[in-house]
Amino acid sequence: MQQLRTLGRRLLVWRPLRSPGASRLFTRNTKLASHTRPQLPFLSSPLARNQQFRYLTTERKRWLAHEMLMAGKYTVYFWAILGLSVGAYWSVQQEWLERRYPTPHEWGFLTRMRFRLAKWAPERTDVPYTDWVQIGNYAKNVLERLEDPDIEGAGLQQSTEGAAWIEGIGKSGYDLSAKSEPWRRGYYEALMLCAKAAEHLDDQVVDTTRRLVFPADQVLGPSNPSPKPIAHGSPSAPHERDCERAFEPPETFYLRILTTRGFTPKQKMDAALEYASWLDFKGAPDASARMYEWALSLASESSLPNPPIYDEKTYVLKDDGGARKPSANLLTSLTALAAHKARNGDVSSALPILLSVLRARRSLPSPQQSADDSRTGTARSSSSPWTTQNLVGVAKRIIFEPEYPPPPDDGEAPPARDPGELCEEAGLDLYIGEIIYASSKGSGKGREDGLAWTREAVDLAEEQLRKLGGGGGGSSGDAGRAVAARKTCRECLDAGLRNWAQMAGRLAREERERGSAARNGRSSGWLGLWGDGGETRGGGGAGETGRWAAEEQVVKERTRRAQELLDELEAPKTGLGAIFWA
């Protein structure tokens, strides 16, 4: 009974408080047709026509401000990283240029930077052509800064040699006695760079209205009745009334070097030889001859007051049994003078000069290498790159500015018969062979002698170039001389192979023509009865290779073998220094 009462009491508690037919208050006003599921107002989709919304809420304002802040921050980061990267690249480039093209440390930053760029531009391989207008502008700007007393030219004085102004040329040189040797050497290099730019821009004019440079043969005007057409896509041709010279004439800079006090005789001699070569190119042989004689007098200054070692009329070196050795400057100037005479047809005077110079070079003493140098080279080649000395050296090269190279040889002493001088001998052999071959008027013996001289020059140049190919040790001065020697040998080998190929090709062609004429003459005998009689004797048969045809094949094979030497490829650096080598 107790259980039944409890069950009844529970049923009374679970009984609903209202009748089943009564509706629920929270669904009374619903507009939905379905009553199967309760619909709450905050769960139903709002109607746009009855509601209005705020698009720029407080939360959205905070979000937009945060996004704008992050965008500005990332933009600043991006440009900062880009700027630092460009600055780092430019700094590394300038450091590399300074090590490759050293500049005097006493010059200002802008002067050094522009001088490096001017020296680098002619040797760049990443541009389609050499912009000599830009080179000339850089070099001229460097020259103006060096001559400005308020920038780099403090202490410059007008030279007392002649007048301060040369009519038709310009002002004479300065007195550089108060300047240091690196300053004078850099000033000399700037003048020579300006002269080279002037040579390349000698036939160029600048349109003053547009500041554009054009070749002179494209200018429209009465002085050029038949102008050359402008390339497609280029600016229109300028008018003569709007044009002027793009650069000063080369003699302005060459004569400034020759009238400057403080340059060495070798520097002046090199400038005189360059100016004489330019006059030869412009078709002024008489003026060029006088300039070569001026260079010869500069080269002979070291022998004064003694009489010159050469004949003053024929310029042939005297054979005094080796009592007096000619200086390097004298050998260079005599060789250039003989080449000038040969170019202008005076072969009878040029050949004795070259033969006397060759005899003098072959009598030069061989270079002496001390035992200390050989031990040092052996220790350097066998030492590890990870030694303390090498690590300290690398650290110094990274931290400190590279030293300005020491002055080069002044050329007033007789040279030693090192590989560089042997390559100069090969160049003399090449000159002599070319002169003998060209001067032999159809004579077989003369042309054979010329080809033999050329072959000897090729053999000597190739031998020295192979010896110099593996060199790389030693001091900076020795490395510079080795680089210059390799360049001389490479140029001599290239020119010798081309001359040899042309000589052998011409002789082989004439040999084939003679053989063809001989065969035609034999086949045209009486009724053709003796047409085959001579084909078995002495060259001329169809299947027989003549002497010069075989020589031509030898030249082709030698050219193929020497191609690896002519391609200027440097061996990769090894050791720790390779990481920091540019």
The pLDDT assigned to 253 comes to 94
The pLDDT assigned to 473 comes to 46
Q: Check whether 570 has a pLDDT greater than 70.
A: no
Task: Report the residue count for the chain.
Answer: 582
Peptide bond into 227 cis (omega under 30): no
Question: Alpha carbon 39 to chain centroid distance?
Answer: 87
The pLDDT assigned to 250 comes to 94
- Mean pLDDT in the chain? 81
Which DSSP helix (H) or strand (E) runs through 123?
Answer: none
Q: Check whether 205 has a pLDDT greater than 90.
A: yes
- Residue 545 sits at the vertex; the CA angle it makes with 519 and 530, to the nearest 5 degrees, is 25
Amino acid at position 574, single letter: T
User: Cβ distance 546 to 539 under 8 Å?
Assistant: yes
pLDDT band at 576 (very low <50, low <70, confident <90, very high): very low
Q: Which of 38-47, 59-68, 258-267, 448-457 has the lowest mean pLDDT?
A: 38-47
Which DSSP helix (H) or strand (E) runs through 303?
Answer: none
Q: What is the average per-residue pLDDT within 514-524? A: 72
User: Cβ distance 433 to 452 under 8 Å?
Assistant: yes
Per-residue tokens: 411: 């050329």
The pLDDT assigned to 12 comes to 53
Tens-digit pLDDT profile for residues 264-276: 999 999 999 999 9
The pLDDT assigned to 477 comes to 58
pTM of the model as a whole? 0.79
- C-alpha dihedral over 253, 259, 263, 267, to 10 degrees? 60
Q: Check whether 168 has a pLDDT greater than 60.
A: no
The closest of 256, 250, 99, 123 to 188, measured between CA atoms, is 256
How do the residues of the chain divide into helix, strand and coil, expressed in percent and rounded to 5? Answer: 60, 5, 35
Q: Check whether 367 has a pLDDT greater than 50.
A: yes
Alpha helices in 148-180 (DSSP H): none
The pLDDT assigned to 376 comes to 47
pLDDT band at 535 (very low <50, low <70, confident <90, very high): very low
pLDDT band at 563 (very low <50, low <70, confident <90, very high): confident
The pLDDT assigned to 389 comes to 80
The pLDDT assigned to 302 comes to 78
The pLDDT assigned to 45 comes to 61
Between 568 and 539, where is the model more confident?
A: 568
Q: What is the average per-residue pLDDT within 525-532? A: 44
Per-residue tokens: 529: 């009865």
Between 528 and 220, where is the model more confident?
A: 220
Q: Check whether 380 has a pLDDT greater than 70.
A: no
The closest of 342, 546, 320, 547 to 428, measured between CA atoms, is 342
